[in-house]
Chain A
Amino acid sequence: MIVNLVVLLACQLAGEVAARGLGLPVPGPVIGMALLFAALIMRPALAERIAPTTSALLAHLSLLFVPAGVGVVGHLDTLGQHGVALIAALLLSTVAAIMAGVYVFLLVARLTGASE
């Protein structure tokens, strides 16, 4: 458990240092994810070791967004008089993006023979 957390935190730390040091446009934890991924490719045995910790974390991933969500409620007035237009744009655009992603995936999967 402790070792597993150290692995996660060390990857995140290395990611933060890399993001800042190299001025990359990606947040530290995302680089940390890439680093851990590389480590798993080199040492597949590590996956089995840390899986209990990572599964527990990811099973409750939505919990981790609650504090930020509560922060948004206090700032809903930043939407100002544009509230309705902004919410409409978010809703429609999110639906459009999901549909575009799904259909292009299925189309290209069929073209390249990668269908399920």
Chain B
Amino acid sequence: MSPADPAEIWTYLRQDPLLWLTATLVAYALGDLAFRRAGRKPLINPVLVAVALLAMLLRLTGTPYERYFDGAQFVHFMLGPATVALAVPLHANLRLIRSAFWPMLAALIAGSVTALVSAVAIGAAFGLTGETLLSLAPKSVTAPVALGVAETIGGAPNLTAVLVIITGITGAVVATPLLNLLRIRDWRARGLAVGVAAHGIGTARAFQVNETAGAFAGIGMGLNALLTALIAPLLAPWLVALLAG
């Protein structure tokens, strides 16, 4: 085999899933390293750093997202099994969860309703209307459910997809400084609230901080998916008509 010129190697690499799968893992490892080096500052969120690095790399190399995703889909796919895996910390914290049934239920309802109503109300106050507000309503819910809810209530699923991810990253970045500032030391309360407000990305962050917080965040995420799917179709159109009609 004669040595190929670099352009040919590049042509092969950019079409092979291997390159973008590796790049995703390297970018995340760099993000995680930056997070540790910066003294675990929440703003240096590993997901945020990895996303920024990869977005720059895709732009510099002129790579379309679809080609990137050919490689990254293997990482993306693991979200399903990881969600199932949340049952294990749930089971490990069973005694704690059972004893906190009523606080959990109340916090779930309060967090879920606040997430929906405040997003629509603040959006309306900033002059947003109709479809945009409806797309905003399910933003705290895990992506597949949020997209379904957006479709049902007349929002734009494309826009909702973007808003859901930004909400998750926002929650993961602000939760620790906010809750430390408020001097909240109950890991159950911290985890549940973050899971309800910032779905899986918030839950991932909670697991980095504390196992119990992670378990409660997982419950918050799962139950809020169910609750929002039930209440958003009743609440959101009425709220939008009231505030921006």
Contact = CB atoms under 8 A, between A and B. Distances in A.
Interface of A: 5, 8-9, 11-12, 15, 25-30, 32-37, 39-41, 44, 47, 50-51, 53-55, 57-76, 78-79, 82, 84-109, 112, 114-116
A97 B47 CA distance: 22
**Most central of B69, B85, B89, B226 by chain A CB within 10 Å:** B85
Contacts of A55: 88
A112 B102 contact: yes
Nearest to B51: A69
B118 A93 contact: yes
A113 to B, nearest CB: 9
B70 to A, nearest CB: 11
B90 A94 contact: no
By secondary structure, the B interface counts as helix
Contacts of A63: 24-25, 28, 46-47, 50, 75
A64 B200 CA distance: 10
Contacts of B242: none
B167 A58 contact: no
Contact of A26 (B106, B197, B229): B229
A99 B207 contact: no
Contacts of B171: 94, 98
Nearest to B152: A25
15 contacts: A33-B87, A40-B91, A50-B85, A57-B81, A58-B207, A66-B51, A68-B76, A72-B51, A76-B162, A86-B136, A97-B196, A103-B110, A106-B103, A108-B103, A112-B102
Given A40-B87, A102-B182, A112-B102, A12 B81 contact: yes
Given A90-B139, A114-B102, A62 B204 contact: yes
A36 B122 CA distance: 39
Contacts of A66: 24, 27-28, 47, 50-51, 54, 72, 75
Contact of A8 (B85, B112, B182, B229): B85
Interface in B63-88: 65, 68-69, 72-73, 75-76, 78-88
B91 A109 contact: no
Contacts of A61: 82, 200, 203-204, 207
A111 to B, nearest CB: 8
Contacts of B55: 70, 73-74
B201 A62 contact: yes
A9 to B, nearest CB: 6
Given A70-B65, A94-B140, A86 B170 contact: no
A85 to B, nearest CB: 4
Given A47-B88, A62-B208, A93 B82 contact: no
Nearest to B133: A89
A93 B111 contact: no
Given A65-B47, A88-B126, 17 more contacts: A25-B229, A26-B222, A41-B94, A47-B91, A54-B85, A62-B205, A64-B76, A65-B201, A66-B27, A72-B166, A90-B167, A97-B114, A97-B118, A102-B182, A104-B103, A106-B186, A108-B107
